[in-house]
Amino acid sequence: MSGTFLAVPGQGSQSLGMGRQLATRHSAARAVFDEAADALGFDLRDVMWGDSASRLMATDHAQPAIVLLAIAALRAWDASTSSALDIRWAVGHSVGSIAAAIAAGALAFADGMRLARTRGLVMSAAPGPGAMLAVAVTSSHAHGDIARVAAALGLDIACINGPRQIVLAGPRAGILEARTTFGARSRLLDVSHGFHSSLMDPVAQRWAREVATTPFRDPRVPLLSAISGELLHTAEHIAEDVRRGVRETVRWDLVTAVAHDSGCSAVILGNGHTLIRFWRGDAIADGAIVVDDAFRGGVRAA
């Protein structure tokens, strides 16, 4: 298989000013921001282009902002390039899966924006204090060692981002103890809660109800599950994947394996630095196209 796949980063990729230059240069992107304001009942530009990093970091702002930027980037790409992308599938990291579902045609944009906003609100209501810790996998801290420490401290493996990084999540006290154990090979993530951990269990039913009332449809192109590494072809399966996405481990390592097997090139929608870092030294990163604020039309290599 050849062609391209669309990839959307998750929470942590947000930054002040995100999307401003894209909207300034591309009327198609600017229209997406207007559509989002209508869907949400408030204008995310005030947050995304404001001066408060902590306000943007809030989960109920960061998650819809990431989805908004991804779709604005996709619309800018579509309007600026003469040849259509041969898109074979779409994938998103955590909340990025909602943007990927929109891009794949499984969700209307307005419904997806409302769902992303609700996801942020639901996850913000989870008990805390929680935290997340990225741990570098080394010869002295192998996957198995990291998993054993996590289990001993009551933590969950939130993400396996590749052979070089695992993210732990759970109660803040346990995360801080894990940080002491792993030392300089670890770093606290700039998030407000312990996502993809048992701390999400108390809000799981509320989230399931929200997903159940959102109209999904069969996609134009498959959605790759970043939980199972399987291609999803039906509205039912995509909705179930989105439902599971607040609690289950993000398996970006499986996404990378599928990308290699497919032979497709990556088109990253939004701030691509996180995904490029996961793929550093890999042929996927070398051939990736990033559509972000630096995009002026045509192709911008990573």
| 149-162 pLDDT, tens digit each | 999 999 999 999 99
Give the closest residue to 204 by CA, choosing from 125, 114, 96, 111: 125
| 110-162 pLDDT, tens digit each | 999 999 999 999 999 999 899 999 999 987 778 899 999 999 999 999 999 99
80 membership: H or E segment, kind and range: helix 59-80
Bridge-partner residues for 5, per DSSP?
89, 266
> Under CATH, which number does the domain 4-125+199-291 receive?
3.40.366.10
The residue type at 173: A
pTM attached to this predicted model: 0.94
| 220-229 pLDDT, tens digit each | 999 999 999 9
CA torsion, points 27, 269, 4, 99, in degrees to nearest 10? -100
Residue 217 banded pLDDT, cuts 50, 70, 90: very high
In angstroms, the CA 224 to CA 261 distance is 13
Average pLDDT rounded to a whole number, residues 263-291: 91
Instruction: Evaluate whether the domain defined by 130-191 bears CATH number 3.30.70.250.
Output: yes
Q: What is the pLDDT of residue 51?
A: 96
Residue with tokens 């939004």: 270
Q: Which residues of 178-208 are buried (b: 16+ CB within 10 A; e: fewer)?
A: bbebbeebbeebebbbbbbbbbbeebeeebb
Domain boundaries, the chain: 4-125+199-291, 130-191
Q: What is the pLDDT of residue 198?
A: 97
| 49-69 pLDDT, tens digit each | 999 999 999 999 999 999 999
In angstroms, the CA 14 to CA 57 distance is 7
Q: What is the pLDDT of residue 82?
A: 66
Q: What is the pLDDT of residue 256?
A: 96
Of residues 284 and 42, the one with the higher pLDDT is 42
